Amino acid sequence: MLVLSRNKNEVIKIGDDIEVMVVEVRDGRVRLGITARPETKIYRKELCENKNAFRKIPGHHFNGDEPLDYST
């Protein structure tokens, strides 16, 4: 695991196509902005680990077999 320190508005580049920017740091929470190609799938790990959580998200149907897509 690579561990980096970043300040607000600083960017981490992953490969050629993904950038992660620290948008805000407040009250012990960090907000990130992610720029990637539209076909790049981006997921929150805790939701992937809890498949039942997807039943609570309108428009998302997840049976565990198909990839998850947050682009819609």
Q: Where are the domains of the chain?
A: 11-56
pLDDT in tens, 22-41: 999 999 999 999 999 998 88
Higher pLDDT, 2 or 53: 2
Q: Which pLDDT score, from 0 to 100, does residue 42 have? A: 85
Confidence of residue 72 (pLDDT cuts 50, 70, 90): very low
Quote the pTM value. 0.64
Calculated CA dihedral for residues 38, 36, 45, 64, nearest 10 degrees: 20
Confidence of residue 55 (pLDDT cuts 50, 70, 90): low
Q: Identify each DSSP E strand in the chain by its residue range.
A: 11-14, 18-26, 29-35
